[in-house]
Amino acid sequence: MNRLEALKSMTTVVADTGDFQAIIDYRPQDATTNPSLLYKAAQMPAYRELVEDAVLHGTRHGGGDSQAQARLTMDKLAVNFGTEILNVVPGRVSTEIDARLSFDTEGTVRRAEALVELYEQAGIDARERVLFKIASTWEGIRAAERLERQGIHCNLTLLFGFAQAVACAEAGVTLISPFVGRILDWYKKAENVAGYPADEDPGVRSVTRIYNYYKRHDYPTVVMGASFRNLDEILELAGCDYLTISPALLGELASTEGEVSRRLDPDRARALDIPRVGYDEIGFRWELNEDAMATEKLAEGIRLFTADTLKLERFAREINQSA
């Protein structure tokens, strides 16, 4: 048995891509997208029709308002890709909310509701098959809490710190995406080291801590490890609820034979002595502030996703102008 199939026996494997062919090749349960992945996929000739359809939607419904046209185009593009992905995965797709709304609770709720409507127009039951990705800011978590009460399920992303994970669980979100590789990047630079043994990888330790805390206190929120730099990080988190993995690393797993040992186990986690904690807004902001890595990587992640959203908007405008 190859390692990908072995991993699937204990963890739900999710494809971290907007490339439909890669999804078909590795047969994941779910798929995740983000502005960076959509920008890359949108430039592939095979997906040109999806981009052109989104541009047409924005032009038709945005009136003469260029900002409205851009927003509607981006929403339709995300839904077009999401709909196509749902044709090839049996589970769910995660669709990103505009990162520029990361500190706007009301704006995030409205945008998610608009995306639900677009999915429903495309014949997709968004409440069953779509997770809306929202940055794990205080405002984003509050938006997710409201959306979950409406039956609109959320994937809280750009999660780097324990306080973020606790707040998400208390808010009742469906799923969180704690990042692994970006945490490793920060610590390698901060501590001026080339790397760490797999079981001492700071990103692996962060996800393990969150997983154990959730299981110990019976939170139903799904833990989906994300942002991997190498196979060792993935294998050290075998047994995690979900892992979202790039096509390159999925390919490496599929091409290597061998057993995969369970590293995370709910029964072992429930036996641990881990005190329960909670944060109000003041406590959350203080704990996040005290965690330099989480503070810096959250801010950086929002900036990077925003930059790729702007690139995607420019690309769509160029297509519109050339039409």
In sequence order, what DSSP letters do the residues of 260-299 get, joined into one string?
------HHHHHTS--------HHHHHHHHHH-HHHHHHHH
Dist. CA 265–CA 291, nearest whole Å: 27
3-class state of residue 135 by DSSP: strand
Catalytic-role residue among 8, 40, 76, 133: 133
Query: By three-state DSSP, how is residue 50 classified?
Result: helix
Cα-based distances in Å from 207 to 54, 184, 191, 248, 312? 36, 12, 20, 22, 31
Distance CA 92, CA 63 (A): 33
Nearest-10 crossing angle of helices 138-149, 105-121: 40
Can you give 193-253 as a three-state secondary structure string?
A: CCCCCHHHCHHHHHHHHHHHHHHHCCCCCEEEEECCCCHHHHHHCCCCCEEEECHHHHHHH
Distance separating alpha carbons of residues 158 and 304, to the nearest angstrom: 11
CA neighbor of 163 nearest in space, from 141, 133, 181:
141
Q: Give every CB contact of residue 83 below 8 A, 6+ residues apart in sequence.
A: 119, 122, 123, 124
Beta bridge partners, 168, equal none
Positive or negative, the CA dihedral 260, 261, 263, 266 is positive
133 is catalytic: yes
Residues noted as catalytic: 133
